[in-house]
Amino acid sequence: GIRRAYHSMAEIQFAAGARAVLPLHSDADYVKTPAAARRMIDTLSLELYRARLGSAHVMGGCAMGEDPRGAVVDSLGRHHQLENLSIHDGSLFPTSIGANPQLSIYALAAKLSSLLADRL
Ligand SMILES: Cc1cc2nc3c(=O)[nH]c(=O)nc-3n(C[C@H](O)[C@H](O)[C@H](O)COP(=O)(O)OP(=O)(O)OC[C@H]3O[C@@H](n4cnc5c(N)ncnc54)[C@H](O)[C@@H]3O)c2cc1C
């Protein structure tokens, strides 16, 4: 999947008019044609720490829901198994929401924290 992503990104960048493309890999170098990109990407080792991956919008790690079989916390952010643990952050979304999340996270955290304060 990672190699396919390198290929797709290089194709997209050349198609958009890039004169050189640099895959985010420790052993990669600038390539100037789609054919050179294909050849180089096919040789890149995918061992740990050489292929660099990053995301600024990781969400959904503690998805909320009433059914403990499919959710980590309930709809008030209370952990289904650990008593007295509440989670109020971007991990409550079912998955990455596909848009800038900060305002939604602020809203969710403000609402759930106010309710938690009331309960306490
Ligand atoms: C480079 C970048 C650019 C972004 N740009 C935008 C943007 O323009 N617009 C937008 O809407 N969103 C943007 N985001 C996404 C947004 O910033 C995050 O989705 C949001 O901040 C996540 O909020 P959060 O409260 O869920 O988690 P975080 O903000 O990650 O907060 C988690 C907190 O928990 C603390 N923590 C971790 N472990 C522990 C521990 N064991 N004990 C105590 N504390 C701990 C951390 O120090 C941190 O303060 C961007 C993200 C990045 C990385």
Residues 32-68: tens digit of each pLDDT: 999 999 999 999 999 988 998 888 898 999 999 999 9
Non-local (6+) Cβ contacts of 60 within 8 A are 91, 93, 94, 95, 96
11 CA distance to ligand 1 centroid (A)?
Answer: 32
Domain assignment of residue 77, yes or no = yes
**Does pTM top 0.75 for this prediction?**
no
- Say if CB 26 and CB 45 are below 8 A apart: no
Residue corresponding to tokens 């050489």? 50
Give me the number of domains the chain comprises: 2
pLDDT band at 22, cuts 50/70/90? very high
Predicted pLDDT at 56: 86
Query: Do residue 13 and residue 37 come from a single domain?
Result: yes
Does any ligand 1 atom lie closer than 6 A to the CB of residue 99? no
Task: Answer whether residue 63 is part of any domain.
Answer: yes
Is residue 37 lining ligand 1, measured as CB closer than 6 Å?
no
Question: Cα separation of 14 and 35, whole Å?
Answer: 11
Residue 50 lies in a domain: no
Tell the residue number behind the tokens 């998955």, with chain if given. Answer: 95
**60 and 116 belong to one structural domain:** yes
Q: Provide the residue range defining the domain that includes 32.
A: 2-43
Residue 75 shares a structural domain with residue 120: yes
